[in-house]
Amino acid sequence: MNNKTKKEVTAFVSTEVPVNPVEIKPTDSNTNDYIPFGTDNLYPQALASLYRKSISLRGVLDSKTIYTVAGGFQLDESNTKGNEFIENVNSKGQSLTEVFEDVSTDKNFSGNGYLEIVIDNGQKEIMFNHIQSVKCRVSKNKESVLIHPNWAKYTNNKKLTKTVALYPQFSEDGNVKRSIWHMKDYEPDFDNYGVPKYIAAMDAAAIGYKTNKWNVSRLDNSFQSSGVLLV
């Protein structure tokens, strides 16, 4: 087996199917300041990886998002102020439809969607922001959401954590109040996080992209076996 073939086969074997999470119960010990999601707290990241790899899963979930968002949010033309707000709901210049689409995408692939509600008393305005589900974890006391850019390196970079109260409570920062509305898909025996609806089809989604990788490997090897064993 040459080095090129060996490297390709190793990359193929290393692909894994996300392991179904088991939620921590009040009677379980938890020394973290957050409630882990998955045995390694990286279940959302594993789902995001599967969403990027599986063409069939991505196609189904993206279609679901399109049907959910549909034509977006619209008001009567006479409601000028309302339409102006719908077309610009945050400092990024996003429309309410765009924010809803992002939250729906997260909720479909991970079972959890996070919408930040910002009330600026100084400017006398309200804003809505989408917060990526892979960056959010529920706090241990279940009163807030911890937002971190890289949960795989959370322990050594806790200072990068942003904490926002869970709706209907609000965190105050000067004239600005913030709250996060956590939308989650119901799953029996889960209280803190949602679980994606396609959880029963996880293996089928993985087979799709693994089959593609196997076919690509065969094409790269010109359909030749990597070795021959003689007895």
DSSP string, 144-173: EEEE-S-GGG-GGGGGG-EEEEBTTS-EEE
| DSSP bridge partners of 116 | 129, 180
- Residue 219, pLDDT > 80, answer no
Per-residue pLDDT of 165-213, as tens digits, reads 999 999 998 899 999 999 999 999 999 999 999 999 888 888 877 776 6
pLDDT of res. 64: 95
- Residue 95, pLDDT > 90, answer yes
pLDDT of res. 214: 65
**Cα torsion through 93, 98, 104, 110, rounded to 10:** -50
pLDDT of res. 231: 73
| Of 56 and 106, the one with more pLDDT | 106
pTM of structure:
0.84
> Starting at the edge strand that comes first in sequence, how are the strands of the sheet with 136-138 ordered?
136-138, 144-147, 162-165
